Amino acid sequence: MERSWYGIARECVSLRKHVLRVDPCVFIDEETTFSNRNVLDSTIKSILTAAIIKGLDVIGILSKSSSNVGWIAWNMAKQLQMDIAVLPGQTYICTTKEELYIFKLKQPLKPGFDLGSACEAAHKMGGFVIATNLTKQKVLDVNKLQGSLSAPDAVEIYNEKVGGYQDLDVDLPKFVSSASTSGNDLESSTAFTLLPRREAEKMGLLAPNEGVDFEPKYLKPKPQGVPNA
């Protein structure tokens, strides 16, 4: 017997309660590269929709030098009641050439920091830092920094666009990312990280129980006595 769409939808209306699908690295160009705000909004909506179709629970939206586009995506997901958590972020190139993904900053991190100083500055601003493209020597340096504000919170071990898995000997959470740049990219990607919800909450990527009771707008009962528009 074929099940109704409504019955299926009732089982698929919230972020997973136990294990989350996370893609921390999806790139969108800076605001100034778009001809107008409508084009930017359309691009963001396409990527968020593709993320939901792919089954992601958490997506990092990264732009160069600023988290502004990520915050626009965060607001859009909230306003449209999308079943996905957005991490607004910026990329950052250290003076020592490492690249960082820095999330949750309201203001851009100023240039000119090495890895340790960049992590410390980001943490003091409430940020979460994923380090990428680490050399073996830099891994040794990161291990010495563990437990301090100067250490990253996690590392990227595989980026689908770049290819090449890094077996990093570091006692930090490890992420796999798609590095997608469009909705089509994201839908065709097979890369994401499985992360226990408790760990995501502990890292501050999600608020406690965020999204557990999510219900899409079209399934919510209409308030009594409110006329149809």
Domain ranges of the chain: 18-205
Evaluate whether 67 touches 88 at the Cβ level (below 8 Å).
Answer: yes
pLDDT at 7: 45
**What is Dmax (Cα atoms) for the chain?**
67
Average pLDDT, the chain: 87
Around 25, how many Cα atoms within 13 Å sit in the side-chain half-sphere? 29
State the Cα–Cα distance between residues 111 and 94, nearest whole angstrom.
Answer: 8
The SS3 assignment for 9 reads: helix
pLDDT digits (tens, 9 = 90+) for 172-211: 999 999 999 999 999 999 999 999 999 999 999 988 877 6
13-22, 32-41, 101-110 — which one is most confidently predicted on average?
101-110
User: What is the CATH topology of the domain spanning 18-205?
Assistant: TIM Barrel (3.20.20)
Handedness of CA 31, 35, 36, 41 (dihedral sign): negative
Which of 147, 169, 160 is closest to 27 using CA atoms?
160
Q: Evaluate if residue 221 carries a pLDDT over 80.
A: no
| Phi, psi (deg, nearest 5) at residue 12 | -130, 50
pLDDT at 8: 42
Q: What mean pLDDT do residues 110-135 have?
A: 95
The SS3 assignment for 81 reads: coil
pLDDT at 223: 60
- Give percent of the chain with pLDDT exceeding 70: 84
